[in-house]
Amino acid sequence: MSSTFHISACPVCSSSQFTVFTEVPDWLVSKEAYTISQCNSCNFKFTSNAPTAENIGPYYNSEEYVEHSDTKSGVIYSVYHYARKLMLNFKLSKIKKSTEGKKLLDVGSGSGYFINHMKQNGYDVTGVEISDKAVELCKDKFGIHAKNPEEFLAGKLDTDYDIISLWHVFEHVYTYDEYFELFSKSLKKDGTLILALPNSDSPDAKLYGKYWAAYDTPRHLWHFTPDTLSRFAEARGFKVVKKYRLPLDPFFNSMVSASYKPGFTFLPISVLKGLYSLIISFFNKEKSSSLIYFLKKK
Ligand SMILES: [Zn+2]
């Protein structure tokens, strides 16, 4: 039992009353079954039997888990590389529009595509990355040396960042309170915290159920919705000031989810499901497959 990460109080509302929401296998690596529980009081969903931080390492050992590789071939990966370029410009435009200042810390910077793009556009960037392989790739490809999370957690980085960003990273973080304290300490008074997260309340999550790629158990511990993220942040001294949809995520999520389903997968059907999810999000942003939240200290 000690190898399981146990949650006794809801990270959003502190309630200890939970109900099993669904069982989701680890489609990517171990094929083991994981439980997603839901708080009876605030509806926050979380993976309730994930391995501990010390034991999660092997669950990241998948070729497919890596945004890091440029050597992949095939349709999905060609689309993915093109999509990455589009998304880098999309992120830059939203950041330019909704933040002040150019000193940026990216936590979970991976192989560095985002920080490199921001650097090329005049930002003073620092990356934090746990994977040695990704740190190496980032250094080789872009000449940027990302820091180890230990340095960040020890409070050794600067305390005057204008922007701290985590792109699809916070859902993996075990010590969420420690991180939020550091966000608060490391940001300027009027700085912006940016969290990009999947939305378990999206149409594609509902269409695919346990096959939904963004449940990604046991690597994703927290399955936020706009409501629970907002409450989670409020309880830690931050408020959501702006939300954007990530327009390509419904397609990517739908295609990967379809590939987990047994039997024949017809690609255009999953693309249509992605399109359906995107269209719904144009009517109601709260239903976006993934959202970018811009937060400020209260
Ligand atoms: Zn709760």
Distance, CA 2 to ligand 1 centroid (Å)? 24
Beta bridge partners of 51: 4
DSSP 8-state assignment for residue 121? T
pLDDT at 1 (0 to 100): 44
pLDDT at 65 (0 to 100): 55
pLDDT, mean of residues 99-108: 97
Distance, CA 282 to ligand 1 centroid (Å)? 28
What whole-number distance in Å separates Cα of residue 241 and Cα of residue 295? 5
In SS3 terms, 6-38 reads as CCCCCCCCCCCCEEEEEEEECCCCCCCEEEEEE
Residue 266 has pLDDT above 80, yes or no: no
All domains in the chain, ordered by first residue: 18-297 (3.40.50.150)
Answer with the residue of higher pLDDT: 63 or 17: 17
What whole-number distance in Å separates Cα of residue 45 and Cα of residue 200? 8
Tell me which of 23-27, 193-197, 259-263, 282-286 is least confident.
259-263
pLDDT, mean of residues 27-35: 94
- Greatest extent of the chain over all pairs of C-alpha atoms, in Å: 53
pLDDT at 27 (0 to 100): 94
What whole-number distance in Å separates Cα of residue 25 and Cα of residue 38? 17
- Is 171:220 a contact under the CB 8 Å cutoff? yes
Distance, CA 44 to ligand 1 centroid (Å)? 5
- Give residue-wise pLDDT tens across range 47-88: 999 999 999 989 987 665 555 455 556 776 777 788 889 999
Distance, CA 117 to ligand 1 centroid (Å)? 38
Distance, CA 155 to ligand 1 centroid (Å)? 29
The chain-wide mean pLDDT, for the chain, equals 93
